[in-house]
Structure 1
Amino acid sequence: MGCDGGTIPKRHELVKGPKKVEKVDRNAELAAKWKYCALSQEKLRRPIVSCELGRLYNKDAIIEYLLDKTAERPNAEAVAHIRGIKDIKELNLTDNPEWEGERRNTKGDRYEDIHCGMFICPVVGLEMNGKHRFCYLQSCGCVFSDRALKEVKTEICHKCGEPFKDEDLIVLNGTKEEVDKLKERMEEKRAKAKTKKSKKTKAAEAVSTPSESKEDTKSAPGDVAGRSALENGGESSQPAVAGPSGASSSSKGTKLLTSTTTKRSIQKMEEKSEAFKSLFTTHSSAKRTKDQTSNWVTHTPYHF
């Protein structure tokens, strides 16, 4: 079996060695990072946002993820660190005038330069295609190349003029080492925010507890006096307080107690006239006998 007709097999056909490791195309990898969303794998379109690790996303994809985190997504690991809309920043990008994009009808008969970036650096003019290092500012969201920040050293944004610090610089699509540094910085920042929040809550609790205790002490004597007055049938067991302030407070207390505890009927008031008493339903003239009451009739009767 085999080797019929004088066929001579070669060594690679008989001996199977280890499989070669497939190498990822560098250009395709750069295009996937700089032209497509890291979550939905769709083409980047405005508004474009970035996280604290420097990844690029479409804003609508991030909002859909935050609204429904239980849905299964292929790249959920890329957004596991995003807790809310405050963890992302909308980027202020500068369009590349040489990038045609979807404005032309590609029929396959023209050469399409995949290295042409959609955006450029507004200072130097370098294309944002992955060959050059780009950063963005967390304070304003403006994007610049690293070369522009090194050549024109300033503490004010080149585009909008807003001041920034070195901590606000975040590298876009950086290397593994740069991403690890950004992750450490993010964790430290969140830990500081938690400690500040806990200190504020403790301070608020410490301020609220003495005020509540003061209010309790102020309201305690009044409550005791009211309870004793109610127990004694509206008559205060404490001696009358001397002075006009004591007399006014005692009169107010007695009025409140009498208004709340006793209710007089209008028909029993002797100072009121019979004409005034007849205006109310409790008067004898308002009461009807069974013969005088009419049967129940619908408001909208229908006759057929």
Structure 2
Amino acid sequence: MGCDGGTIPKRHELVKGPRKVEKIDKNAELVAQWYYCALSQEELRRPIVACELGRLYNKDAVIEFLLDKSSDKSLVQAASYIRSIKNVTELNLADNPAWKGDKGNTKGDKYDDIQCARFICPVVGLEMNGRHRFCFLRNCGCVFSERALKEIKTEVCHRCGVPFQDDDVIILNGSKDDVEVLKKRMEERRLKSKGGKKSKKCKAAESVSQQDTTEDSPGPVKTAKDYMNTNSGERKQIVFTKSAEANGSSSASGKISKASAGTTKRSIVDSEEKSEAYKSIFTSHSSAKRSKEESSNWVTHTAYYF
């Protein structure tokens, strides 16, 4: 059993106790959130964008995710609320003058200071390394520390002068409570945008229907005098005989009634212009009116016919 040579095992070597909860290194967590993209896990590089929940991404990674969502299911579920490039905002970040990056670490023997960040707050000067709460404005994308917005209370952006409201302030990499509040705001904004689109479509449909009704509605009835007063090229030709002009309106009305009577429908049998062969096609011709004995034998009838 492995106890040769007089070795005495202890209790913790033989009995397995409960597993210890693994503690997450806070420094490593902060570095992963503030220095690396939440989608591609690559180092953040400009242009940098942020979603409505305050997570940081590379813009190239977001575009690739929107074009092809079949790469990784876990990433698709984590960023399922990003449906288009309009759901993210490009950030306007202020560079840290003390940031050197990898320029001074050519030999690999230099100490990397985690506290030193690449970007800072342009108002207070705090470094964006995760130790301080930062937020951005959804209207313009400018990034500030939460302390700057609390100390200098204005309704206009400190950097570009764009007006904003409290709902437009989104906290970067906030806590669980902050993320829940941002989710509620995001859902409310999307519902409002859907309602606005539906109302615009209804208004457009109503305007089109009103235009159709105005086009289809008949205009005022014009008399003969109105037609005569119009331009010579657009006048309607109204035929009046000389006798109607001499005898007055009574004879004119009689002529009009005769003309209208002449335009009534007549049977083709009475017309003299058509030939007998053409007239025989129609049922009104005398050849079509036959008795039962003269009718052809191949036509079949039911028992009720006879």
- Normalised to the residue count of structure 1, the TM-score between the two structures is 0.71
Rounded to whole Å, the distance in 2 between the matches of 1:118 and 1:129 is: 8
Instruction: Report if the CA contact (8 A) 2:227-2:235 is conserved.
Output: no
Instruction: Report if the CA contact (8 A) 2:228-2:235 is conserved.
Output: no
Query: For 1:144, what is the secondary structure of its paired residue?
Result: strand
Rounded to whole Å, the distance in 2 between the matches of 1:104 and 1:31 is: 20
1:67 paired with 2:67, answer yes
CA gap of 1:180–1:242, structure 2 versus 1, over 3 A, is closer
Question: In structure 2, what is the equivalent of residue 243 of structure 1?
Answer: 228
Rounded to whole Å, the distance in 2 between the matches of 1:6 and 1:60 is: 65
Residue 212 of structure 1 deviates from its aligned partner by: 1.0
Question: In structure 1, what is the equivalent of residue 160 of structure 2?
Answer: 160
CA gap of 1:110–1:241, structure 2 versus 1, over 3 A, is closer
The 5-angstrom pairing of residues 144-183 of structure 1 reads 144-183=144-183
Aligned length: 233
RMSD: 2.3
Query: For 2:140, what is the secondary structure of its paired residue?
Result: coil
Rounded to whole Å, the distance in 2 between the matches of 1:156 and 1:244 is: 65
Residue 245 of structure 1 deviates from its aligned partner by: 4.1
Instruction: Give, as a single letter, the amino acid of the residue that structure 2 aligns with 1:185.
Output: R
The 5-angstrom pairing of residues 1-304 of structure 1 reads 1-72=1-72, 74-218=74-218, 243=228, 245=230, 248-250=234-236
1:107-153 CA-partner distances (Å, limit 9, x unpaired): 33221112221111111111101110001011111111111111111
Residue 165 of structure 1 deviates from its aligned partner by: 1.6
Residue 106 of structure 1 deviates from its aligned partner by: 4.4
Gaps of 5+ in 1: 222-238, 252-304
Rounded to whole Å, the distance in 1 between the matches of 2:77 and 2:214 is: 52
Instruction: Report if the CA contact (8 A) 1:49-1:88 is conserved.
Output: yes
Query: For 1:102, what is the secondary structure of its paired residue?
Result: coil
1:19-71 CA-partner distances (Å, limit 9, x unpaired): 11211100000000000001110000011111111110001111111222344
Instruction: Report if the CA contact (8 A) 1:52-1:87 is conserved.
Output: yes
1:66-104 CA-partner distances (Å, limit 9, x unpaired): 222344365223321111121111111111112211323
Instruction: Report if the CA contact (8 A) 1:138-1:168 is conserved.
Output: yes
Gaps of 5+ in 2: 238-306
Q: Which moved more, 1:184-193 or 1:153-162?
A: 153-162
CA gap of 1:9–1:139, structure 2 versus 1, over 3 A, is same
Rounded to whole Å, the distance in 2 between the matches of 1:137 and 1:30 is: 22
Rounded to whole Å, the distance in 1 between the matches of 2:115 and 2:139 is: 29
- Normalised to the residue count of structure 2, the TM-score between the two structures is 0.70
CA gap of 1:129–1:218, structure 2 versus 1, over 3 A, is same
Residue 246 of structure 1 deviates from its aligned partner by: 9.7
Instruction: Report if the CA contact (8 A) 2:227-2:236 is conserved.
Output: no
